[in-house]
Amino acid sequence: MSKKIDRAPPSSGWGEVILGAALSVVLGAVLGALALVLKPTVTVKELPKEPVAGVTYFIEGSRDTNKGKQAAAKRKSFTQGATGVFSITEDELNALVVSAKPVAVPAAAPKPREKAASAAAASKEFLTAGTLNFRIRTGVVHIGLPVTISALGEQWRVVVQAQGRFAKKGQAFVFEPETVLIGSCPVQRLPYASTYVTKKFLSSQTLTEDIAAAWPRLASLTVDGSTLKLTMP
């Protein structure tokens, strides 16, 4: 007497069903966040009177060189131990950021093999950070950082935006973000992500040695309208 062979596939347990559903949700969330990150950001000087729905804007802070020409003198006084209140406008702050960028030293033209190696190394850079931009309005500091993402032979320009205030942590004042955007993705909604992103990208813009040495001596740091006020004892 022959036995009947059950050829029906084994049914999946509840554990496998739940795991599959969870993975689908995670994958959907990751793809959704990635789409928001790579969604183009529109850079403007002022917010349009009628902003387009669904568009993320990056409002640049002023970089007027005439208004920021006192930045170098204030920096010198600040780092050489002068006391009192230093009022820093966003034009001066942005001028200081630009002046702190390292200047390339002229060098001999690279040989073909060296040039190819340099190009290959550059192509492997996943993230390339630009120059910080500061904007100060109504007591809130806005920081923008353009970042170029290179992957799979393509490049995307993404703007990292953070807004918040300064607070003293330990012996020094640090920037504490209230909202953080990478492209159009609101990172502050993810636990601990906004702090990580802010530290990650701000750390790429290192302070010069003289400012870093003077910074811990600050007695207070406040934002008055559109001006930073730094008090040195």
CATH number at residue 49: 3.15.10
Query: How would you classify the pairing of strands 172-182 and 185-186?
Result: antiparallel
The answer to whether residue 46 is domain-embedded is yes
**Residue 37's pLDDT band (cuts 50, 70, 90):** low
Nearest to 201 by CA among 163, 147, 141: 147
pLDDT score of 168? 87
- The token duo for 211 is 């400012």
Q: What is the pLDDT of residues 204-226, one digit of tens each?
A: 555 678 888 888 899 999 898 88
Q: Percentage of the chain with pLDDT > 70?
A: 64
Nearest to 60 by CA among 82, 44, 77: 44
pLDDT score of 46? 86
The answer to whether residue 28 is domain-embedded is no
Q: How many domains does the chain have?
A: 1
Helix, coil or strand: residue 172 = strand
The answer to whether residue 18 is domain-embedded is no
Domain of residue 138 covers 40-75+82-102+122-232
**Residue 146's pLDDT band (cuts 50, 70, 90):** confident
Which pairs count as long-range contacts for 165-170, CB under 8 Å and 24+ apart, including other chains?
Answer: 165/139, 165/140, 165/141, 165/223, 166/141, 166/221, 166/222, 166/223, 168/221
pLDDT score of 67? 85
Average pLDDT of span 81-103: 81
The answer to whether residue 3 is domain-embedded is no
The Cα–Cα gap between 75 and 78 comes to 5
The answer to whether residue 60 is domain-embedded is yes
The answer to whether residue 5 is domain-embedded is no
The answer to whether residue 116 is domain-embedded is no
Residue whose entry in the numeric block shows the structure tokens 């966003």: 90
**Residue 20's pLDDT band (cuts 50, 70, 90):** low
Average pLDDT of span 196-207: 61
Among 17-26, 72-81, 125-134, which stretch is predicted with the lowest mean pLDDT? 17-26
Is pLDDT of 85 > 90?
yes
33-47, 60-74, 186-200 — which one is most confidently predicted on average?
Answer: 60-74
The answer to whether residue 177 is domain-embedded is yes
